[in-house]
Amino acid sequence: MSALLEVDGLEVDYGTARALDGADLRVAAGEAVGVVGESGSGKSTLGAAIGRLLPRQAVVAAGTVRVAGEPVLDLPPAALRRLRRQRLGFVFQDPIASLDPTMRVGAQLRLVLRAHGRDGRESPGGRDGGRGGADVAFHLARVKLDDPRVAAAYPHQLSGGMAQRVAIALAMAASPELLVADEPTASLDSQVREEVLNVVFALARQAGTSIVWLSHDLPAVARRCDRVAVMYAGRVVESGPAADVLGDPVHPYTAALARSAPAVAVPGVRLEPVPGRPPVLTGPSPGCAFAPRCPFAEDRCATERPEPVRVGAKDVLCHRAAELEVIA
């Protein structure tokens, strides 16, 4: 069976800066995948590329993105819009800004539901013919917004958590096959975070929607996702089952990242920051981009680009993956 999402060798440049340097990602139907990496590792570019939502100045230098077999980057406009409407859903970082400030929440939801009606797709929960009032209430209740005042509110009158739940309701209204959530909780406080994530994952499970969750919160990703992909300098350096990747990392960068996460720290043991800084690429990296910071780097790491190596259930982008697996 082919995967729902297949990203192969994707390279994206912003002017002279390279955001993606040959990224690969696979997501199966119904699966939740966490994409983890530091700021600037290319997570957001990867997420945007899935829906061809890259900013205008972005240039795709190489690679393909397929959603349900359709080549996202080569589709004509009408087919691309149909793909976005029927198969994809997006949730963004800044919840209040991602809602139209001039429209009440209920009106925005009605507008989205109407668009799906035109596609001849039944959205779950309501078939009250024309007005869509019951539909709006249903879709808001699905994201645990039961207060009738929410539908009548403007986005700036909502809290960040409420606004993000509205955005989730909008994205999930059409029961997409794949939901891309780009740090959906980054701007929320920690208490609200869990509630919002609960809503996302419960809705997705119910609808059979796959999730690509872009995050830098390693432990949170490990708790909720089936698989994890770790990004570094525009490439996915290690991917596999969540427990394997975080509990038994092979790639030196993943290992360093796992050791630096505060939540997994044993009290009394110092956190180990990853030494050095992530690189800013201006073109394809000649070798492994992590080599300058890597304690295990050899000569060839600086000159030869590593190809994915299968280690157990994981794909690892490291010349020394096999040896390091033994060490770990």
Nearest to 98 by CA among 37, 27, 160, 48: 160
Q: Which is nearer to another protein, 63 or 89 (CB)?
A: 89
Exactly one of 4, 12, 136, 167 binds another protein (CB under 8 A); that residue is 167
- The whole-angstrom separation of Cα 174 and Cα 113 is 8
Q: Is 144 in the site for another protein (CB under 8 A)?
A: no
Q: What are the C-alpha distances in Å from 131 to residues 16, 33, 142, 152, 171? A: 50, 37, 19, 15, 20
**Minimum CB–partner distance for residue 114 and another protein (Å):** 10
Q: Is 100 in the site for another protein (CB under 8 A)?
A: yes
User: Phi, psi (5° rounding) for residue 115?
Assistant: -60, -40
- The whole-angstrom separation of Cα 235 and Cα 46 is 10
Stretch of 89-97, 127-135, 245-253, 262-270 lying at the interface with another protein (CB under 8 A): 89-97
Q: Is 290 in the site for another protein (CB under 8 A)?
A: no
Q: Is 258 in the site for another protein (CB under 8 A)?
A: no
- The whole-angstrom separation of Cα 85 and Cα 87 is 6
Q: Is 101 in the site for another protein (CB under 8 A)?
A: yes
Q: How many residues does the chain have?
A: 328
Q: Is 57 in the site for another protein (CB under 8 A)?
A: yes
Stretch of 66-74, 84-92, 197-205, 244-252 lying at the interface with another protein (CB under 8 A): 84-92
Tokens of 242: 């969540």
Q: Is 115 in the site for another protein (CB under 8 A)?
A: yes
- The whole-angstrom separation of Cα 141 and Cα 318 is 46
User: Phi, psi (5° rounding) for residue 209?
Assistant: -85, 135
Exactly one of 29, 61, 68, 103 binds another protein (CB under 8 A); that residue is 103
Q: Is 171 in the site for another protein (CB under 8 A)?
A: yes
Residues that bind another protein (CB under 8 A): 51, 53, 56-57, 80-86, 88-90, 92, 94, 97-103, 111-112, 115, 154, 156, 167, 170-171
